[in-house]
Amino acid sequence: MEHRYLGNSGLKISEIAYGNWLTHGSQVEEDAATACVRQALDEGITTFDTADVYANTKAESVLGRALIGQRRESLEIFTKVYWPTGPGGPNDSGLSRKHIMESINGSLTRLQTDHVDLYQAHRYDTETPLVETMQAFADVVRSGKALYIGVSEWTADQIRAGHALAQDLGISLISSQPQYSMLWRVIEDEVVPTSEELGIGQIVWSPIAQGVLTGKYKPGQPVPEGSRATDENGGANMISLWLNDNVLNAVTRLEPIAADAGLSMAQLAVAWVLQNPNVSAAIIGASRPEQVTDNAKASGVKLDDDVLKAIDEALGDAVLRDPAVTAQSAPATRPT
C-alpha cells in the first residue's frame, strides 16, 4: 500500500482509504463490517473515513469497535459533520457552532478516540455564516479534538472562501472530499485547479460509481439480487443515475481494457482516479473482505496514456463533466 501527502500538509494517508458509507450499521451485519476493517488493515490501509450521519451515527460506533486494539498513532481517522443526526431537532444539522461542537464530542465518543485526524464539513451550510463555521472548526482544532479540517462537495468558490478564513484563523484546511470516477468528472474544471492552487488534496468517494464500474450491472438485464441497486436504505437511489443502457453499454466496453491491463474492473476504476495528481486517496467501501483485497491491489498501479485514452473513447458521452453539479449537491436550506 502506497501513501500520499494530504494536500500540502505533512500528513500522509494511504492512497486507498476505507469508508463505511451505506455499509456499516445498515447494509451489512457488524461481524461482516469488522471483517472488512480488519482486511483493510491487513492490506496496509491506514486511513478510515466515516461520518456521523452514516446509519444515523451507528457507522461511527461500528468503526470505533472494529478498530479497538489498533495503535492509534498508526491510523488516520476521518469523520464529517452537517447532515441531520439524532431525532432531527432544529439544531441537529448544519454547520452552526452549536452543532459542530456537540457533533465532534459525539463522534469522538462513538469512535472511541480522543481526536480525529481530519474533521470535514459534509456539505456547505447556506444558513450559517461561513465565519461562524470556520471559527468553530478552529476551536475544535485548538482543543486537540481534530488535527486538520476539510470539506466535502464544496464548490471552488466555497473552497477558496473557506481556505482564506482558515488561514486567517491559523488552521489548516487541507482536503476536499468530492465524488469522482471515470463516469463522474465534475471536479476537473474548477475544483481541482482551485485545490491545486491552494494546496488542497482530494479524498474521492465512489471511485467505482457505486459499483457500476465493476461491470456487475448489465444492459437489458435485471439488477443482481442483493446488490446496492436493491438497497432501499440509500444505495438504490444513488446508483439509479447510472442504470441506463447508454452508461452500461459504455462500461461493458471497458472490460477488454481492464483485461489487457491485467486488472479487474474495480481495480481499473480505482487506479484511474489515482492517476490524478491532486487525488490524495480513493475511498473504497465493501460488504465482503475479498472486495477490500481486490480494490487494494489498485495501489501503485500506473496506467499508460494509451490506456487512459482508450477509457475515454470507451465511455464517450456517458461521462458527466458539468462543474455546476457540485453546487447542486448542497441543500438550499439546512436539512431536518
Residues annotated catalytic, as ranges: 54
Residue of 3, 1, 40 whose CA lies nearest to 286? 40
- 336, three cell numbers: 431536518
Cα distances from 241 to residues 179, 198, 209, 306, in angstroms, run 13, 32, 10, 28
- 246, three cell numbers: 447508454
The C-alpha angle 295, 179, 249, rounded to 5 degrees, equals: 70
Element (H, E) at 59: helix 58-66
DSSP state of 195: H
Cα distances from 137 to residues 85, 131, 242, in angstroms, run 19, 10, 36
Beta strands in the chain (DSSP E): 3-5, 12-14, 16-19, 47-49, 76-81, 116-121, 146-151, 173-176, 201-204, 279-284
How far is it, in rounded angstroms, from Cα 75 to Cα 111? Answer: 12
